[in-house]
Structure 1
Amino acid sequence: MKEEYREENTTSSRIEGRHSVLEALRAGSLIERLFVQKGCQDGPVLTILREAKKADVMVDFVPKERLDFMSETKNHQGVVAVLSAFAYSTIDDMFALAEKKGETPFFFILDGIEDPHNLGAIIRTANLAGAHGVILPKRRAAGLTATVVKASAGAIHYTPVAKVTNIVSTIEQLKEKGMWFVCADMDGELMYRQNLTGPIGLVIGNEGKGVSRLVKE
């Protein structure tokens, strides 16, 4: 059975071809994700992979058919890079925003939100709820693509979004800064009965699996 691919419509934020992708990496372009054809291990591709590692860019090795589907030029040469549609902030930026407003820090921590429309909606909700930022994991999660920016309905311009390597270690580091954490969970207690004052991080899990076991622990 032929595998079907469904990509969000962000072709304008893609770079195709080995030379173009390599130069984008060397120029420090905000690359969200790099897709490389499975089995490609020649010199130019290995150079691209080394540059991607230096830039801490997530790499997906995919079948040629997926790259063909993604490609606008139909000359991807086994490499397609998706650019971030918006610049990421840092967690320090979020603390600075809270301090500027004279408020205790309030962050959303997203544990594997995959749908870009959902991510955009959550960023919008975080802004309306007065959150000082949204934290995403680098892997197995949606990033700041054009669809996310559009779905946020402008909230992305007022709500810092940071990307971290590990959600668990980030939570531990934020605990050391005095933050407490609550987790949105179907088996939890009614939120209106909780004391949610003070510096709080709200953890929201994946659309299907919910919050991962390690994060809950």
Structure 2
Amino acid sequence: MAGDKKKRALRGRAGRMQGGRGSGRAGKGAVRLWGRHAVEAALMNPARQHRKLWATREGVDSLDGELPADFPVEYADVSDLARLVARDAPHQGLVLECEPLADLHLDDVIDGQVNRPIVVLDQVTDPHNVGAIMRSAAAFDAAAIVTQDRHAPPEGGVVAKSASGALESVPWVRVVNLSRALEDLAEAGYWRIGLAGEAETTLGDALPAGPVALVLGAEGEGMRHGVTQHCDALARLPISDAMESLNVSNAAAVALYAIATRPAGD
């Protein structure tokens, strides 16, 4: 890699490329990521198996690390890279094709630590929102996010770009039945708080002393009735009457901050 400063080795494993040069789509079962933070985090993640990196030379130089000598890189210009990603996606000269991360089970992420909430998303389908929530989850040291497999975006470039690297560090658990997952969290000692604008109690007053599962629904529709029934409490954020609601990713960030800064023993 060119550059003046000495760079550390990127730890990811390179895999064998499947699919042809300039195919314009990910190979079977593969995930395509783009943007410096998303690609760099994936390259640094030893749990990722990588297939191929398409890049401009400037994009490779921007990475905070040294690619292995045998890493499969194909240099391309900006217009070529644009054909490999979603329309108008800001790829920043880097497009990585890799294997999806291994599936996780809820038991894998339950740790019961008071200051490490688990974020449960009910039908939040916009990949930009899921990625932004993942970024906030990383910032406030959440233990994981949990989604229902049928009502969540797939792992991919838009989520990864919005998450700004957090896709590689925040465990993402996909479940078949969200209500059952909430039952399992209750059995593990989590207090399940659903954010709802119509709730009478504010989040600060609803927070317990123990571990929290924070439940958020899709914008507009909110949480489904069955999910609401599996919450121990509903709470709202104390926003001004001048604004009806917050974007779900903004609400998640505010709620995670409130959980992280609650007084000890409250």
Query: Alignment identity in percent?
Result: 27
Q: Does 1:151 align with 2:127?
A: no
Cα distance per residue 1:129-158 (max 9 Å; x no partner): 221000010112212122101110011222
User: Any conservation in 2 of the 1:127–1:155 contact (CA below 8 Å)?
Assistant: yes
Match of 1:216 among 212, 216, 228: 228
Aligned partner of 2:177 in structure 1 is: 166
Q: After the TM superposition, which residues 165-184 of structure 1 pair with which residues of structure 2 at under 5 Å, given as runs?
A: 165-184=176-195
Q: After the TM superposition, which residues 10-25 of structure 1 pair with which residues of structure 2 at under 5 Å, given as runs?
A: 12-13=25-26, 15=28
- CA–CA separation in structure 1 for the residues paired with 2:120 and 2:99: 19
How far off its partner does 1:192 sit?
A: 2.1
- CA–CA separation in structure 2 for the residues paired with 1:140 and 1:213: 15
- CA–CA separation in structure 2 for the residues paired with 1:84 and 1:184: 34
User: Any conservation in 2 of the 1:116–1:147 contact (CA below 8 Å)?
Assistant: yes
Q: After the TM superposition, which residues 29-44 of structure 1 pair with which residues of structure 2 at under 5 Å, given as runs?
A: 29=29
Describe the SS at the equivalent of 1:204: strand
Q: Which amino acid aligns with 1:181?
A: R
User: Any conservation in 2 of the 1:121–1:152 contact (CA below 8 Å)?
Assistant: yes
Aligned partner of 1:94 in structure 2 is: 109
Cα distance per residue 1:87-134 (max 9 Å; x no partner): 443222312xx47xx656520000011110010001111111221000
- CA–CA separation in structure 2 for the residues paired with 1:173 and 1:128: 25
User: Any conservation in 2 of the 1:86–1:149 contact (CA below 8 Å)?
Assistant: no
Tell me the C-alpha RMSD between the 2 structures: 2.5
Match of 1:206 among 215, 218, 221: 218
Identify, as 1 or 2, the structure richer in helix: 1
After superposition, the Cα gap between the structure-2 partners of 1:30 and 1:90, relative to the gap in structure 1 and judged at 3 Å, is farther
Q: Does 1:132 align with 2:147?
A: no
Describe the SS at the equivalent of 1:186: coil
After superposition, the Cα gap between the structure-2 partners of 1:201 and 1:168, relative to the gap in structure 1 and judged at 3 Å, is same
Q: Say how many residue pairs are matched.
A: 140
Describe the SS at the equivalent of 2:210: coil
Q: Which amino acid aligns with 1:13?
A: A
After superposition, the Cα gap between the structure-2 partners of 1:84 and 1:151, relative to the gap in structure 1 and judged at 3 Å, is farther
- CA–CA separation in structure 2 for the residues paired with 1:202 and 1:84: 30
Describe the SS at the equivalent of 2:167: helix
Q: Which amino acid aligns with 1:172?
A: E
How far off its partner does 1:13 sit?
A: 3.0
After superposition, the Cα gap between the structure-2 partners of 1:84 and 1:117, relative to the gap in structure 1 and judged at 3 Å, is farther
TM-score by length of 2: 0.47
Describe the SS at the equivalent of 1:12: coil
Match of 1:117 among 117, 128, 153: 128
- CA–CA separation in structure 2 for the residues paired with 1:163 and 1:210: 19
Describe the SS at the equivalent of 1:192: helix
After superposition, the Cα gap between the structure-2 partners of 1:84 and 1:203, relative to the gap in structure 1 and judged at 3 Å, is farther
TM-score by length of 1: 0.57
User: Any conservation in 2 of the 1:30–1:87 contact (CA below 8 Å)?
Assistant: no
